[in-house]
């Protein structure tokens, strides 16, 4: 007599952490939203709008945040069932829906032109300010997906709290970013490293680093609050380093490699370079910054970069990069809640990246 097999979803599988495997889950979830009880009562043209809006905004990025959930879970729990893999990928897509919500709204606020190699959603002639409601719809979709797939799980409330708290944190970071450096207003007194670190912690670190790993930990059965606090500390440091890299590459990176021409100087960004640079500039150099920062003029940009080179802010960044890496290694090695590779895999992907 043959041995009874476990249900298909509980059998151990060989999960593939690949973009192709991850993308296949998006199709199912996008269909779920379009077939939702409330959406199904809408006329055909509204359903078509939702379908196209999701496909245009959700799956077009690198998808690193979303795929990090399964990657993290695999480190915590190497033998996964089909149900485990599906749950990790669904939560990963919830993070990508969250990212889409932020970006659609962010582009509208920043008057941006392109996003992920295509016109920003609101720039499409038929969209305009409807994008404001679309961003709200994208956020609301997260909770329809969570309800459909996780409401019977004992950690459902934990997931809801995690996504709601992350959204609140990110919105406070976005607000601080917007009011610290509004377009056309250069107030050098606001460009301080403390302010910069706060913006990055709330606007980037929580949803880009902490949320994917915290989701993996929830799925992996981690319940110790201290483990999540440790994760938060490491992810804030990693997220700050990641954003400082972005700021450095925007100014000094090769456009052919990073895939874009940096515009942080023209856009009056409160970035790592300007905050660090102001700590060591002379009054004369600060005057040059005051007169040229935030202007969409190639000569003005060249003058800013010349000051950066005079004070060797490039070396400051390289020193910071080495110090941050050592600090992260220490934080990772000193924690005992989860395998160090949960964090080291992420760190390896971003350390000294060129794009």
Active site residues: 62, 101, 106, 110, 115, 177, 203, 242, 246-247
Residue 59 contacts residue 26 (beta carbons within 8 Å): yes
Query: In the numeric block, which tokens belong to residue 98?
Result: 């969250």
Structure tokens at 93: 């897509």
Rounded alpha-carbon distances, angstroms, from residue 108 to 56, 124, 134, 135, 207: 15, 12, 11, 10, 20
Report which DSSP code applies to 42.
S
Q: Residues 6 or more apart from 210 whose CB is under 8 A from it?
A: 166, 231, 232, 235, 236, 239
> Where do runs of H (alpha helix) occur along the chain?
19-34, 44-57, 64-76, 82-110, 130-150, 156-180, 193-200, 211-219, 225-252, 255-258, 272-278, 283-292, 298-310, 313-334, 341-350
Q: Which residues touch 81 (CB under 8 Å, ≥6 apart)?
A: 9, 10, 11, 12, 13
d(CA 92, CA 70): 8
Helix 19-34 with 130-150: angle, nearest 10 deg: 100
Answer whether 94's CB lies under 8 Å from 141's CB: no
Rounded distance between C-alpha atoms, residue 226 and residue 200, angstroms:
23
291 Cβ contact partners less than 8 Å away, ≥ 6 residues apart: 300
Helix and strand element counts for the chain (H, E): 15, 4
């Amino acid at each position: 007599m043959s041995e009874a097999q476990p249900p298909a979803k509980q059998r151990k599988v060989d999960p593939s952490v690949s973009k192709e495997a991850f993308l296949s889950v998006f199709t199912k979830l996008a269909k779920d939203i379009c077939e939702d009880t409330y959406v199904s009562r809408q006329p055909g043209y509204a359903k078509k709008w939702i379908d196209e809006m999701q496909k245009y905004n959700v799956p077009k990025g690198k998808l690193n945040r979303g795929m990090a959930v399964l990657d993290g879970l695999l480190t915590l729990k190497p033998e996964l069932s089909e149900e485990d893999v599906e749950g990790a990928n669904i939560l990963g897509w919830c993070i990508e829906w969250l990212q889409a919500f932020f970006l659609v709204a962010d582009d509208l606020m920043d008057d941006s032109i392109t996003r992920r190699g295509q016109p920003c959603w609101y720039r499409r002639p038929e969209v305009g300010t409807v994008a404001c409601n679309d961003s709200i719809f994208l956020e609301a979709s997260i909770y329809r997906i969570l309800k459909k797939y996780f409401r019977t799980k004992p950690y459902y409330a934990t997931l809801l709290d995690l996504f709601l708290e992350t959204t609140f944190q990110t919105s406070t970071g976005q607000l601080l970013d917007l009011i610290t450096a509004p377009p056309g207003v250069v107030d050098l007194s606001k460009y301080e490293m403390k302010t910069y670190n706060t913006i990055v912690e709330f606007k980037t670190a929580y949803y880009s680093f902490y949320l994917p790993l915290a989701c993996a930990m929830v799925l992996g059965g981690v319940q110790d609050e201290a483990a999540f606090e440790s994760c938060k500390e490491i992810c804030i440091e990693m997220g700050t380093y990641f954003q400082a890299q972005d700021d450095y590459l925007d100014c000094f990176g090769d456009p052919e490699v990073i895939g874009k021409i940096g515009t942080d100087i023209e856009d009056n960004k409160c970035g790592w370079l300007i905050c660090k640079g102001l700590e060591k500039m002379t009054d004369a150099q600060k005057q040059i910054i005051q007169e040229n920062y935030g202007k969409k003029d190639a000569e003005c940009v060249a003058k800013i970069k010349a000051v950066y080179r005079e004070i060797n802010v490039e070396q400051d960044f390289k020193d910071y990069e080495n110090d941050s890496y050592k600090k992260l290694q220490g934080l990772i090695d000193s924690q005992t809640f989860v395998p160090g590779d949960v964090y080291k895999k992420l760190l390896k992907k971003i350390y000294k990246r060129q794009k």
